[in-house]
Structure 1
Amino acid sequence: MNIIKHLRERMGYSQQELADKIKVSRQTIISYESGNTPSVPNVQKLAQLFDVLESDILNGHLPKEPSYEVIPAKAQKETPQMRISIPQENITKFKEVFLYIINKIGSKYNVGQTVLYKILYFIDFDYYEKYEEQLIGARYIKNTYGPTPVDFAKIVRQMQKDGDCEEVKSKYFEREQTKYLPRRKADISCLSAQELEHINATIKKYADWSATELSNYSHKDVPWIAADDKGIIDYETVFYRTPETSVREYAND
C-alpha cells in the first residue's frame, strides 16, 4: 500500500485537494502515489499535513492509528476509588472548547496548529492534575513535536463542513502555518464556571508562546516523557510531574 495514498484517503482528501494543500499539481500527487519519492520540501509539507514523521513518508511506514473511543459514564463509576487512565471522550465539549480558544486567540500571529495542540493538551492535563477530573477528556499521542490530540484533523474537518470554523494558511517566519478561524461563537453552556476559569487561565498563560517554545516545554512534562513514541499519553502520569510543569500544590507528608 502506498503511504501517501493511504494517508490521503484516511483524511478524506481527493488527489486534487491534497495537491492544493501542498501547492503542487494533481499529476505530482499521482506520481507520488505511483511510487515516486517526493522532494524534501514536499516530504516536510506532507508530514506536517498528515501529522506523521518525515521518515514515515520516506520509508513508507504506516504510523499507528489510535482513534477516539467513547466510554459510557456508567463504566467509570464501577471503580469509584480509582482514577481513570483512559478518559471519556466528549466530542461536543472538544468542539466548543476549540471554538472558544480560536475565538479568543486564533487570529494572533503565533497561534497555529501546533500551538493549539499544546494549549488543548495543557488544558486537559493541568485540569486533571489539579482536580482529578476530566475537562475535555481528549486522548493525546506522543509525536515528535509534542502531544497531539487524537483525531484532531477529523473532528476539525467536520467542524469546517458544518460551518463552525475555517482553515487558512499563512506565513510565520517564512514557514507555512496552519491557522483556524471561527465562524461562530462557542457554546460555553457545556462548561462549568471552574472549567471556564481554568481554560481562560491556560489561554492567558500560553497565548504568546511560540510553537517551538511550547513544544520544548511539553517535552519536559512527565506525561510526554513517559509515553511510548506514537503512543497514548496517560493522564495518570500528571501526578509524577516535576515542579517545572506541575500546577498543583501537594501537601508535604
Structure 2
Amino acid sequence: MTQYQKLNDAVHYVVSRCRPDDLGATKLNKILWFADVAYYERFGTSITGDEYVKRQFGPVPKHVPAATRELEEQGRIVSREVEYFGRPKREFWALKEADISRFDPNAIAIIDQMIEWICNGHTAVSISEMTHDLLWDSAEMGETIPLGAALAFRNAEITEDDIAWAERELEALA
C-alpha cells in the first residue's frame, strides 16, 4: 500500500462516478478539497490523508498528480488532454471498479454530495472562484493550507447573543 492509498482510492472513486466530460482536473481537485473539509468538520480528520497547497486555481491536494499517474500505471484509470472552449482540459475515465473498502459510509456520502454539487452544479471556473476566499488569499503560493483553517474562515452568522457577549467583554476590558 502506498503512503497515499486513500487519496488514490478517493481519486479513483470520483473518476468512476463522474462522466469524463463533467470532470476535469480542476473539478477533481475541488471535489477532494470540499469533501475533505466537510469530513474534517464532522470527524476531525480528512478522507484522503493528503495535504492541500495554494495554487493558482485554489487549494489543491498536493499528491493528486502522483495519484493519477499511479492509477494510470496500474490500469485503473486513463486520462487524456482535450480542448474545451479553446482551453486544455484533462478528462478521466475509470477502467476498473473503484475500491472503497478503506472508507466509512460517511466518507462515501460526503464525496457523493460533493460530486453531485460540483459536477452537476458548477463549471471549473465557478467552483474555482468559490475557493478564492480569505483563506486562499492569506496563504503564499505553494504554502500548505491546513484543513482546520478552512473552518476558521467560514462565514458565520452573528447573533444578538454574540453581540451582547462582545459588548460585555469590551466593558470588562474598559
State the TM-score bracket (shorter-chain normalisation): 0.7 to 0.9
1:90 CA drift (Å): 5.3
Deviations 1:74-114 (A, max 9, x none): xxxxxxxxxxxxxxx9511111111111111142x242111
Give the percent of matched residue pairs that are identical in Structure 1 and Structure 2: 23
Instruction: Return the alpha-carbon distance in structure 2 between the equivalents of residues 123 and 223 of structure 1.
Output: 17
Please give the residue correspondences for 1:42-53 in structure 2 after superposition, counting only pairs within 5 Å: none
Question: 2:114 aligned with 1:202, yes or no?
Answer: yes
1:230 CA drift (Å): 1.2
Question: 2:145 aligned with 1:233, yes or no?
Answer: yes
Please give the residue correspondences for 1:61-80 in structure 2 after superposition, counting only pairs within 5 Å: none
Please give the residue correspondences for 1:83-94 in structure 2 after superposition, counting only pairs within 5 Å: 91-94=4-7
TM-score, normalisation: structure 1: 0.57
| Greater per-residue strand proportion | 2
Q: Is the CA contact (8 Å cut-off) linking 1:90 and 1:138 kept in structure 2?
A: no
Task: Pick from 99, 118, 123 the counterpart of residue 187 of structure 1.
Answer: 99
TM-score, normalisation: structure 2: 0.81
Task: Pick from 72, 83, 95 the counterpart of residue 8 of structure 2.
Answer: 95
Q: Which runs of 5+ in 1 are unaligned?
A: 1-88, 245-251
Task: Pick from 78, 82, 88 the counterpart of residue 170 of structure 1.
Answer: 82
Q: Which runs of 5+ in 2 are unaligned?
A: 157-161, 166-174
Instruction: Return the alpha-carbon distance in structure 2 between the equivalents of residues 120 and 112 of structure 1.
Output: 13
SS of the residue 2:50 aligns to: coil
| Greater per-residue helix proportion | 2
Q: How many residues align?
A: 157
SS of the residue 2:66 aligns to: helix
1:124 CA drift (Å): 0.9
Instruction: Return the alpha-carbon distance in structure 2 between the equivalents of residues 160 and 123 of structure 1.
Output: 23
Q: Is the CA contact (8 Å cut-off) linking 1:129 and 1:238 kept in structure 2?
A: no
